[in-house]
Amino acid sequence: MMHIGEKIKKLRVRRGLTQEELADRCELTKGYISQLERDLTSPSIATLIDLLETLGTSLNNFFSETEDEKIVFRNDDVFVKEDENYTINWIIPNAQKNMMEPILVELESYCETKPDHPHEGEEFGYVLSGNIYLHYGEEKYKVKKGESFYYKARNNHYLSNAGKNTACVLWVSTPPNF
């Protein structure tokens, strides 16, 4: 069930308006806005259109059932998959439905990721700690902490760690491929 008043209040607060300021801009009373936000009254269509225009949205957007898009992700959102040689942390849940998919790879000493075959799209990586080798087709590139890589995924590719310490790499694929 949609709570119109609750959504109007969220929009008003997001816009930094008081109930009184919203009421003034729509030629309504503060009391009416207060009742509306508590779902004690319902606006006419004309009043709702005025309110939504003032709040920078439309009837169509207001009534679309899409949930608010999550912007910030925390540690408890991370999905972890452990392999015997490396750990993949999906730092954005369900990113396969997005345009890009970032993961955090922790690669154990003297180990490598599984090879990935050519696919559509591009990949980017940034080495957060340790040193790795990027194997791309027949080439092998050393990438140190603080350095990055970027390529079109037209060749087989994988990472290896030839060092004594675990390496950590932020790795992003577009479109999602991990």
pLDDT digits (tens, 9 = 90+) for 110-120: 999 999 999 99
Is pLDDT above 60 for 67?
no
CA distances from 24 to 19, 27, 38, 88, 170 (A): 9, 5, 19, 53, 50
Say yes or no: 102 and 160 in one domain: yes
Is pLDDT above 80 for 177?
no
pLDDT on residue 68: 61
Indicate whether 68 belongs to any domain: no
> Do residues 141 and 134 touch, judged by C-beta distance below 8 A?
yes
Is pLDDT above 60 for 64?
yes
Higher pLDDT, 176 or 115: 115
CATH number for the domain harbouring residue 45 = 1.10.260.40
**For the ranges 36-50, 87-101, 108-122, which has the lowest average pLDDT?**
87-101
Indicate whether 69 belongs to any domain: no
Say yes or no: 94 and 164 in one domain: yes
> Do residues 33 and 43 touch, judged by C-beta distance below 8 A?
no
Is pLDDT above 80 for 140?
yes
